Amino acid sequence: MMNPRMQRPFTTLPHGQRGAVMVLVVVALASMLLMSALALDGGHMLLNKARLQNAVDAAALSGAKTLSQVMGTGNASSQTRDAALNTLSLNANASGNGELAAAITAAGGVGAFAQVELATDVEGPFAFPGPVDARFVRVTVADYALPGFFWGFAQAFGAGGLADKAVAAIATAGPSQTAPCDLAPLMVCGDENQYDPSTGMFWGYRFGDLEVLKSAAGNAPAIGPGNFQLIRLGDNTGAADIREALAGGIDQCLTPGEPVETEPGNTVGPVAQGLNTRFGQYSGPISPGDYPPDKVISFTTPRMTYNDSTSPPRVEHQNQPVTSNDGDLATASRNLLDYNDWVQSVANCPSGCEANGVLERRVLKIVVGNCDGVSGGQTSVPVLGYGCFFLVQTVSQQGNQAQIFGQFVTDCAGDSVPGPVVDDVGPKVIQLYKTYLTPTTPSPDS
């Protein structure tokens, strides 16, 4: 009788299964490394993608803002690119963006790291320097390489299916039509047939032109007898409202094409009390806490004056005519403080700037009206558009010297809600747009 065969213990692995545990361990370790790559490297990529996108968005907005100010000048494209790249550099050098700053340095500088292009249409085509009538700015960072933690293992395990660890970003910014708000209660007359932004012409005004924004007693009225270029904003009438509006306390919207009502009278005291707050000078019922000055309040002294006994009338400084050349004001004997000097001084802030100053308090948004055929007294004037003018100096409280002098900058940017289209005239806001690689293909990196 044969002995029954003894059964092999269950803990003993068959000869053919030896080494299977090692395979499972390797697979498990590989899976853990892949999960680590996904968690650590993936999170690292998302963080840096967000930081890069924020920096590129800010750069595009900065470039578009600068373009709106210098459009039509000979080096508008270069100024736009410089502004965009400078903003990108400032963001890279901010706290927490050390990797971005290192990547810019490794690329050979911000100009090699990012590309700035311009176009007339939000959908392009974009190029540099772009067309002379460009209005939109696109900033692109195509390859921001990042250090890998487990990324190399993930690439090897994926048999090369994964690209190098890098992120990209693209942003497009430009103007959007708005209803103009925060207007000053002033109006200059314009020519509707002289509007061509591609040549730097806005209703007969060019960058840097020195203009009288409000006339004084004895001057030939541009709008007719009794008018000194003051207007009514909505239901606001009278000297007190004029003072408040010139200080910046009335938010009023208008639409190009609709009429605006003039406000007869010189209103010397309230005009000076309101406008001079922008230079840090306070008199009358005006609070410095409510109306802070501009960041830079310096201007040429003695002040410029208006001589209407010449033909044509002219602005003078110490009896010499004042000329403007691309924003630079001067007489035959000296240079005068002007818009270009103010821009440079603001760029140097906080050095030499008002501690409680607010940016662009000296830039007024003013109605440009069609004064053809208007008469004196209280009257209606059709609105052509809106111009940004830089206040050159304070205004005197003497009736025959109460002119307001300003340099034309460009057609104005507004403060209201963006509209759906960008027209040739009217105030704008600068905003970001969805970036399209083609008219129907949105970019995945914007």
Q: What is the pLDDT along the chain (446 residues), one digit of tens a residue?
A: 455 555 555 555 555 555 666 666 666 666 666 666 566 667 778 888 999 999 999 999 999 999 988 877 778 999 999 999 999 999 999 988 889 999 999 999 999 999 999 998 887 889 999 998 898 999 999 999 887 655 565 555 554 456 677 889 999 999 876 655 778 899 999 998 998 888 889 999 999 999 999 988 878 777 777 788 888 887 777 788 889 889 987 777 777 677 888 888 888 899 999 999 999 999 888 888 889 999 999 999 999 999 989 988 999 999 999 999 999 999 999 999 999 999 999 888 888 899 989 888 999 999 999 988 777 678 888 888 889 999 999 999 887 888 999 999 988 755 544 444 455 555 567 889 888 766 556 677 66
Phi, psi dihedrals of residue 145, rounded to the nearest 5°: -70, 140
Query: Which tokens hold the place of 425?
Result: 């005239």
Q: What does each C-alpha distance from 207 to 204, 271, 393 come to in angstroms?
A: 10, 25, 18
Residues 6+ apart with CB under 8 A from 49: 167, 169
The model scores a pTM over 0.85: no
Q: Is 96 exposed, middle or buried (0-12, 13-18, 19+ CB in 10 A)?
A: exposed
Q: Closest Cα partner for 362 from 337, 329, 398, 384?
A: 337
Q: Closest Cα partner for 279 from 246, 304, 251?
A: 246
Query: Which tokens hold the place of 35?
Result: 């999960």
Phi, psi dihedrals of residue 57, rounded to the nearest 5°: -60, -45
Q: Residue 122, Cα to own-chain centre: how many angstroms?
A: 16
Q: Give the whole-angstrom CA distance, residue 44 versus residue 63.
A: 28
How many residues are there in the chain? 446
- On whether the CB atoms of residues 88 and 139 are closer than 8 A, the answer is yes
CA 318-347-406 angle, to 5 degrees, is 35
